[in-house]
């Protein structure tokens, strides 16, 4: 399982909202990789789901949920 999660972040702390969003995308990609570790299968399926509006919306929802968690972990980037 360690190979699947190589590149996993040490922290959810991000210096800016944009960096937090990039982290959310990275976590989403790691989730896909952990769910389907076979790169050949992922590459074979990509053309289908890349044209499927429902799949794209679902992907956006996953990123949004990760971003919500990261934003909370960063106190919504408020200055104290």
Q: Which two tokens stand for residue 24?
A: 């959310």
Distance in angstroms (rounded) separating the CA atoms of residues 39 and 55: 18
Q: Which two tokens stand for residue 59?
A: 């992907």
In which residue are the tokens 């989730």 written? 31
pLDDT value at position 60? Answer: 97
**Nearest of 60, 61, 62, 77 to residue 20 by alpha carbon:** 77
Encode pLDDT of 37-75 as tens digits.
Answer: 999 999 999 999 999 999 999 999 999 999 999 999 999
Encode pLDDT of 10-41 as tens digits.
Answer: 999 999 999 999 999 999 999 999 999 999 99
């Amino acid at each position: 399982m360690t190979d699947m999660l190589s590149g996993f972040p040490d922290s959810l702390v991000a210096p800016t909202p944009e960096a937090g969003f990039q982290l959310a995308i990275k976590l989403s990609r790691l989730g896909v990789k952990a769910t389907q570790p076979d790169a050949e299968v992922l590459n074979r399926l990509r053309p289908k789901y890349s044209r499927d509006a429902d799949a794209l919306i679902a992907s956006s929802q996953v990123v949004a949920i990760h971003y919500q968690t990261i934003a909370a972990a960063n106190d919504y980037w408020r200055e104290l």
